[in-house]
Amino acid sequence: MKPSWRVLLPSLALLLAISAGLSFALVTGPATPALPGGAQQAAPASGYDGMLALPVRAAPAIDLRNFRGRRVTLAQYRGKAVLVTFLYTHCPDVCPLITANLGVALKMLGRLASQVQVLAVSVDPRGDTPAAVAGFLRRHGMTDRMQYLTGSAGELARAWVAWGVGAKAQVGRPDLVAHSALVYGVSARGRLTTIYPPSFEPRQIAHDVSRLAAH
């Protein structure tokens, strides 16, 4: 049964605040949440199990490097559905959950998994070293299944701003980062189309991939 979401921008702001709170409880001054790609609201999506970002527009560019130092862009996956999320390797709760559920969704897709690429953008330029990222991917069975992108603080901050992502290290605990923890569905034509909460069910992603890949 498909979820019934009646979510507009104020509700999405609350969702973003909640998702940030999952990363750690002691945070002050959370960033103002926003939708990426110029979208103004999120609403129930006809034909999708995710929420629809409206208006549907081109997704913001991503141009970073993976933990092996190879350049990766969002544009290079045109023709596939792309799932974009923002994570960090030392996250104690929501990031492992999102990663695990994305892995389950890929397994559910079987051969259709070739229609989708998962991109994770770091929210922790200090802690997400190549070794940390490699270990994170290995532990979650996502090596070569998820492109985990890193960069300098300035490079990553540009991506965060473009995607409306808040990221703030905890004072006195720089290993903990409060951040927006959503998953974004980008269509084969490069349009930001769907949005999923951190508590999404893998079947929702598995359901939507074919439609994203066809549009």
- Judging by beta carbons within 10 Å of its beta carbon (0-12, 13-18, 19+), is residue 172 exposed, middle or buried? exposed
Are 194 and 50 in contact by the 8 Å Cβ rule? The answer is yes
Q: What is the pLDDT of residue 176?
A: 75
CA-nearest of 203, 213, 179, 210 to 102 is: 203
Please count the other Cβ atoms lying within 10 Å of the Cβ belonging to residue 205.
Answer: 27
Are 139 and 148 in contact by the 8 Å Cβ rule? The answer is no
pLDDT digits (tens, 9 = 90+) for 31-59: 444 678 777 767 776 799 999 998 889 99
pTM of model > 0.85: no
Return per-residue pLDDT of the chain as tens, 215 residues: 444 443 333 344 434 443 433 333 223 233 444 678 777 767 776 799 999 998 889 999 999 999 999 999 999 999 999 999 999 999 999 999 999 999 999 999 999 999 999 999 999 999 999 999 999 999 999 999 999 999 999 999 999 999 988 777 766 666 777 777 899 999 999 999 999 999 999 999 999 999 999 99
3-state secondary structure 168-189: EEECCEEEEEEECCCEEEECCC
Count the alpha carbons within 13 Å of 160 in the hemisphere toward its beta carbon.
Answer: 25
* Topology at the third CATH level for domain 9-24+38-214: Glutaredoxin (3.40.30)
